[in-house]
Amino acid sequence: MKAFDATRIRKTILDMAYAGSTVHIGCAFSIVELLAVLYRNHLRLDKDDPSSSRRDYMVLSKGHGVMAQYACLNEIGWLSDEELGRYFGNGTRLKGLADAHVPGVEATAGSLGHGLSVGVGLALGAKRNGTDQICYALVGDGELNEGAIWEAALFASQFKLDNVVVIVDANGFQAMGTTDEVMGLGNVAAKFTAFDFDVATIDGHDETAIDAAYRDLKSMKNGRPKAIVAKTVKGKGVSFMENDNIWHYTRLTPQTYEAAVSELRGKA
C-alpha cells in the first residue's frame, strides 16, 4: 500500500477517536486527501528532524482536524502507533486540538484565526532568511469568519509572500450549522482573488486535482500568495458521517466504530 493512503489514514483516525472516545471526526475526515497528498508529494521534511531549519511548514490552522495530521505524522514515523493508541488519555501529549509542542505541529490552533498569521510569519521569516521554504496553512471555511484571517491575507499580499499557500477546507459546515446558515461566505475564491491571491478551486478529495493544484501554485514565483479552495465533504469516507454535522460532536460506540471500519475495509 502506498504511503499516506487516504483510507488507512481514515482508519487511523477512527482508531484514535475510538481509543480516546473523542469527537471531531467529521472535520478530520474532510482534510484527509489534502494532507495525504501534501505529505506524500510536496512537503520537504527531514524525516530524522521534525524541526529542521529548512523544512516546509504545514500549519493546521483549523486545529480541530488534528487527528488527520497526527495520522500523517504517524505515517512519517514521528508519532508511534502506541502513542496514537493512547490519544486523549491522561498524562499523554496528544491533545484534542493542534498543539505546537508536538513534533511536526507548527502552531497551537483551535482557537481559530491564529495559525494563518503564524504561518505568514514563518513564510516571511523564510523570505528574510533567503530560503525557498514554503508554508502551507490549512484553514476551515468556518474559520474564515475570524477577522484575523483577513488581516493575514492582506499582510501576505502586502509582503509579497508567494511562499504561502492557504488551503481552505470548504466542507460547508461549522460548529452550529452550515456556513450559509451561520455566516454566509459567498464566493470564497473571489474573496481571495480580491486580496491578490492566485487561487485554484478543486475537489478536495480528488488526489490528482489536489496534486496538480499544489504543483502549479507553488511553481508560480510571482510575488502573489496562493489559495486553494478545496470543496470537501465533512465526514468524507464513511457514508453515515458524510454531511452530517453531528459527527463534529459524536463519539463512537462499538457499533458505529465497527460499521465505519467495515465501510473503510470495503474501500481498501
Partner 1 sequence: MRDAFSNALVAAAQKDPRVLLLTGDHGYALFDPFRKACPDQYMNCGIAEQNMVGVAAGLAKAGFRPIVYGLAAFVPIRVLEQIKIDVCYENLPVTFIGDGAGVVYAQLGTSHQSTEDIAALRAVPQISIYSPADGFELNACFDQILQSEAPAYLRMGKADLGDVHSAPLPASSCHELLPLSSTGTAPYLFVATGSGVKLAQKVAAAIGGADVVSASCLKPFPEASLRKLAEGREGIVTFEEHSIYGGLGGIVAETLMGRYTGTFIRIGIEDRFSTLCGNYPFVMESHGLAAVDVENRIRKTLEENVQYQQ
Which parts of this chain interact with partner 1 (CB under 8 A)? 53, 100-101, 106-108, 111, 113-126, 128-129, 147-148, 151-152, 154-155, 158-159
Closer by beta carbon to partner 1, 119 or else 204: 119
CA–CA distances in Å: residue 65 to residues 26, 219, 264, 267: 8, 27, 19, 22
Closer by beta carbon to partner 1, 155 or else 197: 155
Q: Residue 40 corresponds to which amino acid?
A: R
Minimum distance from residue 118 beta carbon to partner 1 (Å): 4
Minimum distance from residue 154 beta carbon to partner 1 (Å): 7
DSSP state of 80: -
C-alpha cell at position 152: 493575514
Cα separation, 112 vs 166, in Å, equals 14
Closer by beta carbon to partner 1, 134 or else 210: 134
Q: Would strands 173-174 and 177-178 be described as parallel, antiparallel, or unpaired?
A: antiparallel
Minimum distance from residue 56 beta carbon to partner 1 (Å): 13
Taking alpha carbons only, the member of 167, 164, 115 closest to residue 135 is 164
Minimum distance from residue 114 beta carbon to partner 1 (Å): 6
Minimum distance from residue 9 beta carbon to partner 1 (Å): 26
Closer by beta carbon to partner 1, 61 or else 74: 61
Closer by beta carbon to partner 1, 3 or else 194: 194
Cα separation, 137 vs 255, in Å, equals 35
- Beta-bridge mates of residue 49: 46
CB-based contacts of 185: which residues, under 8 Å, 6+ apart? 141, 144, 179, 191
